[in-house]
Amino acid sequence: MRVIVICSEPESGSALALTLGELGCRVTMARFDLGGMGEDAALASRPPHVIVVEAGDDLPRAQRAIKRLRDGGGPLVEVPILLAVSVGRLSGLDFSIGFDDFVLLPLVPAELYARIRQLDWRTATFGSDEVMKIDDLVIDIAGYEVRIGGRRIELTHQEFELLRYLAQHRGRVFTREALLERAWGYRYVGGTRTVDIHVRRVRSKLGDPGALIETVRNVGYKMRA
């Protein structure tokens, strides 16, 4: 896992960065002022999985660094941020500046790694024969469940199969006739109009992630790649 650690004096080393290295992470160090890292071509091609901002007692500088990361655009703007802060500064946290989670100093290595893994999981997109994850949307094919941000979404059999099929073929456009036959395996009673009804229901139940299912005018539907 690739991690950027932002701290006050990276040239002096960091116990947090050392701990991450011992946990198997590939660590890059940076200063609070960020320098030109937002425009780094290497970061654009391979952004880190997580950014850790080591605030300690210097909470104001750390929060300014986070705000610059979130407001500055570039390849790091969407990378999840973990803020490491001392217990004494906990009451001063400004949760509106854009960090995704925090961990207390002094560190407990197992907790640090668990929180980093959790942040990476939240933003990861992947697919397998048993589970597909697209941002917060998780489709558990083996368990026949759909969850968004850990919350279970109740779908009917037809709705689940429609969502599963589109997710397994992201980016491809399917006619209503093809979805009737391939998603459900037969010509479901009600004809092609049934597909429109089920798409609307799935979108409604999913909320914001429902926008992944796009209507292709005069053709059918696809799930955005």
Closest CA to 14 of 46, 62, 49: 62
**What pLDDT shows up at residue 77?**
85
Q: Could you please report the per-residue DSSP string of 158-191? A: HHHHHHHHHHHTTT--EEHHHHHHHHHSS--TTT
Tokens representing residue 41 in the block: 């071509």
Structural domains in the chain plus CATH codes: 2-123 (3.40.50.2300), 126-223 (1.10.10.10)
pLDDT digits 0-9 by tens, 71-109: 877 778 888 999 999 999 988 888 888 899 999 999 999
Cross-strand partners of 153: 146
Q: Is the pTM of this model over 0.75?
A: no
pLDDT in tens, 18-46: 999 998 888 988 888 876 464 455 666 67
Greater pLDDT, 188 or 174: 174
Torsion of CA 184, 190, 191, 196, to 10 degrees: -80
What pLDDT is stored for residue 38 in this prediction?
A: 46
